[in-house]
Structure 1
Amino acid sequence: MAAIAKGDKYTTTKNFIAELAGILTIIPLAPFICRYIPPVMIGEWNFDLIAAVLIAVAVVRVILWLVKPLIIPAFLLVFTILTVNQINNKYGFGNILNDYKTLAYQNWMIREQKQPDGLSIDPRSFGNPLNKTSQLIKARVNTTDSLVRNFSVKHSLDNFDEYQPKYGMVTRYLSLFQYINTHFKYVPDSQRDEYFANPRETILNGMGGDCDDHSILMASCLMSIGARCRLVIIKGHMYPELYCGDKQGYELMQQAIIQLFDKEQIDRIYYHEHNNEYWINLDYSARHPGGRYLNDDVRMVIDL
């Protein structure tokens, strides 16, 4: 009887360890699976990570049901991979924590902030496309120059590659935004003359210039890899905006920003919207895409 009791206790211990290993495997497995699931929105609520957790639970339960002894090696393998990735600055424990935080931020903490100006009512009412300033600026935008195109492709691959299966080209746009805004340095024009640099000039001069040079560079680079952009002139300033698409496209962009720019204290995503077309701010004054606008005194919109 003692031998049987001892055997039962040993079996119970093994089962407990296997179940614990299963739970510990689910925790990092769910966000890994989530990277390959498109955002799942029900109304304004995001459920893709929850769906990934359910898939991870199902996978672990199947392993426990079919080959229970393998769950412990599976957990050790996942833990080892995450440790190596953490050391090599790839997808590791910090990314897992951030992925769980993203769900909470997306559903409960982030608030949309539609910019309350006339641009959200009717963009066509701002500026004349034949205006001399508009023509000069549009003439400086260049999306086909080989230097601009190669620069854009290179830096669109710098960051966020592990999330490309989830967010597609959005990761490329946001990677390029991060590079340009991290490296751009403000240098004013002369007090007497306004000069609009083309993107090749700005790249070759070391990423320096004023707000219009930054706007022309950002729009040219993003458009050279397939994005749609426009330039907005406000009182004393100009900034680029990136087209997100309709409400669903905007929600995809919003989730990507929250997840990929997790080091920023994001409490609002600012945008313009008209006829279900959503545009977000890509100004150099913003630490993340969709940052606060400097002012709402819109003077001109330059469609590209």
Structure 2
Amino acid sequence: MWKLSNIKAIIQKLRVKKPWDDIIIFILNILIAIPVFIIIHQNLVDPEWPFEIDRILLFIAIVVLLQLLLRLLRRVIIICIAAYLFFLLFNSIFGNFGFWSVAEDYNAMLYNMSEDPNPQDIIIAKLLPFPNKSKILDAIDYDNPDVRNFALMATTKHFRNINKYKEYRTTVQCFAVFKEIKKRWNYVNDPRGREYIARASETVQHFSGDCDDHSILMAACIRAIGGVPRIISTDAHLYPEMLIGTQKDFEAINYIIKEVLFKEESKGKTVHYHIDEHGQIWLNLDYTATYPGGPFMSEEILGALTLY
């Protein structure tokens, strides 16, 4: 059996001499503080304090607490380093929060803290029935082979090599559909004196029509590849939106839109979205937008038709 003196001798050999122990403690503190801060940041409700003061104070508190803890573990600091590296390496291979995830979440967090997205809370100004609801639902024939095949083609044509964001693969593929429809869309009015509602399988032949037809086609294609769309009704206008998810999801998606997928189209511009009564975020995909989350053509919302 090992004696206490043997254990003390091993600990003494592993102990780092001054001043290197203080330097290592500080570096290890920052390396641990960043992922810990990201996890807490993503699970806290944002009180929307000015200049992100709440997040700054949170990070300082985490650093101070970790500094005290690591000083208590000064004698086994090398073991702490080994445990930290093993944890990140293990999660990089087998888990969901490894080296890449830390860097990705950190970039997205900093980007969103410096950006100024434009959230809009949904307010149903008038309790009006959704116009042509049954006809529009019938027209969103997402299980039609022509609709499904077009959506699949778009996902192979755009953003296919974006492999870093596996968690948001479906969202990225829906953005590919948006890009392809945007490139092809030709606005054409309905017949005079008549509201013509085309099925998605009809519109996909020529990519032409009015806002109703665009919304139906976009909703059908997004639904066909696993996304969750909805159509918003405003005064004399319909447009599609797509479910993004929570605030955490939006932080990542905002970064992906502005720094990866639509960097040129969104340069210097704001990402627009709505927050529903459940706190879920929906991104604008109107044909007037050049990137997902482009400016709203009409602000006042009169109704929403969601396709779960």
Tell me how far apart the structure 1 counterparts of residues 261 and 40 of structure 2 sit (CA, whole Å).
Answer: 22
The letter for the 1-side match of 2:194 is D
The correspondence of residues 131-170 of structure 1 with structure 2, limited to 5 A, is 133-166=132-165, 167-170=168-171
Contact in 1 for aligned 2:171/2:227 (Cα 8 Å): no
Shift of 1:126: 4.8
Tell me how far apart the structure 1 counterparts of residues 248 and 139 of structure 2 sit (CA, whole Å).
Answer: 32
Corresponding residue number in structure 2 for 1:263: 264
Shift of 1:226: 0.2
Instruction: Map Cα deviations across residues 249-290 of structure 1 (whole Å, 9 max, x no partner).
Output: 222221221121011224211111122211010000001001
Tell me how far apart the structure 2 counterparts of residues 43 and 279 of structure 1 sit (CA, whole Å).
Answer: 21
Instruction: Map Cα deviations across residues 132-155 of structure 1 (whole Å, 9 max, x no partner).
Output: 611111111111001111111111
Shift of 1:110: 2.7
Tell me how far apart the structure 2 counterparts of residues 107 and 118 of structure 1 sit (CA, whole Å).
Answer: 25
Tell me how far apart the structure 1 counterparts of residues 122 and 255 of structure 2 sit (CA, whole Å).
Answer: 24
Contact in 1 for aligned 2:122/2:275 (Cα 8 Å): no
The letter for the 1-side match of 2:275 is E
Seen in structure 2, the aligned counterparts of structure 1 residues 158 and 41 have a Cα distance that, compared at 3 Å, is farther
Corresponding residue number in structure 1 for 2:209: 209
Shift of 1:170: 2.0
Contact in 2 for aligned 1:111/1:267 (Cα 8 Å): no
Instruction: Map Cα deviations across residues 155-210 of structure 1 (whole Å, 9 max, x no partner).
Output: 11211122233242222111111001111110111230011111111111x21110
- Structure 1's consecutive aligned runs of 4 or more residues displaced over 4 angstroms after TM superposition are 102-105
Instruction: Map Cα deviations across residues 107-128 of structure 1 (whole Å, 9 max, x no partner).
Output: 4653111125515xx9xx7544
The letter for the 1-side match of 2:192 is Q
Tell me how far apart the structure 2 counterparts of residues 105 and 159 of structure 1 sit (CA, whole Å).
Answer: 27
The letter for the 2-side match of 1:110 is E
Contact in 2 for aligned 1:241/1:281 (Cα 8 Å): yes
The letter for the 1-side match of 2:117 is E
Tell me how far apart the structure 1 counterparts of residues 108 and 305 of structure 2 sit (CA, whole Å).
Answer: 36
Corresponding residue number in structure 2 for 1:114: 119
Matched, 1:193 2:194: yes
After superposing the two structures, state which structure 1 stretch, 242-251 or 109-118, moved more: 109-118
Seen in structure 2, the aligned counterparts of structure 1 residues 266 and 170 have a Cα distance that, compared at 3 Å, is farther
Corresponding residue number in structure 2 for 1:221: 221
- The unaligned stretches of length 5 or more in structure 2 are 1-37, 43-51, 53-103
Tell me how far apart the structure 1 counterparts of residues 127 and 246 of structure 2 sit (CA, whole Å).
Answer: 22
Q: Give the alignment's Cα RMSD to 1 decimal.
A: 2.5
- The unaligned stretches of length 5 or more in structure 1 are 1-39, 46-98
Contact in 2 for aligned 1:109/1:267 (Cα 8 Å): no
Seen in structure 2, the aligned counterparts of structure 1 residues 146 and 247 have a Cα distance that, compared at 3 Å, is same
Corresponding residue number in structure 1 for 2:304: 301
Tell me how far apart the structure 1 counterparts of residues 39 and 272 of structure 2 sit (CA, whole Å).
Answer: 20
